[in-house]
Structure 1
Amino acid sequence: MLTLVIGGAASGKSEYAESLVLRSTLPRYYLATMQVWDAECAARVEKHRRMRAAKQFETVECPLHLDAVHLPARGTALLEDLGNLTANELYDPAGAGPQTAQAILSGLDAVYAQCETLIVVSNEVFSGGADYAGDTDRYLLALAQVNNALAARADAVVRVVCGIPVYYKGVEK
């Protein structure tokens, strides 16, 4: 099963996605997309690793090149999140650059082929305004392309608002 969980900042989307994983089969993988830039980021990553380990997650770091991820066994994977992955692929010199959306979608296909269940967390786009500075439009367009294509492929699409899941496609399991 492929599920896309979207929502705004602090909407509860991550907690909801994690609750879906905790209902699923073992093994549980947490595909972490955050780039570690400094000691503060490293401390945050370590704190989250400990929290996830207590819930029987194995963390797989994948800030770039999702297609290179190899899961040791079939199970349930939670990718957190597409916003980070899109920024990393778009702006990191080692990333996919102009091919970001296609690279991420190919990577998602590769990961999903290794899972029983894949749950992907993403940010809402184009609901917070229309006038963005700098290169933000390019980022938002790439993320929207990924969100739209993934929503079309997904078995379930759920938007979380104030911690409340609203299903646009599929049903809550």
Structure 2
Amino acid sequence: MIHLVTGGSGSGKSEYGEGLILDIPDGERFYIATMESSGREAERRIARHRKLREGKGFFTIERPRDLGGLILPGEGRKNVLLECVSNLAANEMFGGGACGPAELAGETGLDRLAELARRIVSDIRSLARQADHLVIVTNQVGEDGCCYDRETRAYIALVGRVNQELAKLADQVTEVVFGIPVVVKGEGK
């Protein structure tokens, strides 16, 4: 079972996704944390998320990139929360100087983004094959209509493409709006 949970910043999507995993009565709970520590604000958010899941029985794996190489430990049922795709995409796109303005220019840049999106989705499929339940948390991006630089536009396009592919793959899609889950696809629609 794959459940994609999306929403804007501060919408309650992370808490909702966590609750979905906590409601599963049996199996080991894995929390795949993708946020990379890149400064004071990131450290604050990482600490906040760690505190929020403290004592909830999650086995946390910090994996900012390369999900395809991840092998979940243990036997038995595995219930996995992937938090979150937008951080993963940023890490894959910009980590180690992987993409800059020159790499994103023209058709070569579009090809590079398409290939990166395919790889991210493939890596998540690999994770899904190891899980009995996979809850994927992602952000809604690109809805504010603001003008951005080339790199930001490319990032928004990447996350949008990945989210579309994950929505196709998912058994259920829920958008969290102001803390209220709205079923977009699957049971309850």
| TM-score normalised by L of structure 1 | 0.90
Matches within 5 A, 1:94-133: 98=112, 99-133=115-149
| Residue identity opposite 1:167 in structure 2 | V
Point out the structure with max Rg over C-alpha.
Answer: 2
Q: Quote the offset at 1:19 in angstroms.
A: 0.7
Alignment of 1:31-42 (within 5 A): 31-38=32-39, 41-42=42-43
Q: Distance between the aligned counterparts of 1:78 and 1:95, measured in 2? A: 26
Match of 2:4 in 1: 4
Please say if residues 82 and 122 of structure 1, whose CA atoms lie closer than 8 Å, have aligned partners that are also in contact.
Answer: yes
Cα shift readout 1:39-82 (whole Å, capped 9, x = no counterpart): 66456535533542400000011101010111113411001101
Partner-residue secondary structure (3-state), 1:126: coil
1:112–1:40 distance in 2 versus 1, CA, 3 Å:
same
Amino acid at match of 1:139: Y
1:29, distance to aligned residue in structure 2 (A): 0.5
Matched with 1:138 is 154
* CA 40–153 in structure 1, closer or farther in 2 if over 3 Å, else same: closer
Name structure 1 gaps, 5 residues minimum.
none
Aligned CA distance change for structure 1 residues 78 and 129 (closer, same or farther; 3 Å): same
Give, as a single letter, the amino acid of the residue that structure 1 aligns with 2:124: L
| 1:49 aligned partner | 50
Q: 1:94 to 1:79 in 2, by over 3 A?
A: farther
Secondary structure class of the residue paired with 1:5: strand
Q: CA RMSD, aligned part only?
A: 2.0
| Stretch moving more, 2-11 or 19-28 | 19-28
How many residues in Structure 1 have an aligned counterpart in Structure 2?
172
What SS is found at the alignment partner of 1:127? coil
Deviation at 1:170, TM superposition (A): 0.9
Structure 2 gaps, min length 5: 104-111
| Separation in 2, partners of 1:163, 1:46 | 22
TM-score (norm: length of structure 2): 0.83
Measured after TM superposition, the shift of residue 140 of structure 1 is: 0.7
Residues 39 and 128 from structure 1, CA distance in 2 versus in 1: closer, same or farther, beyond 3 angstroms?
Answer: closer
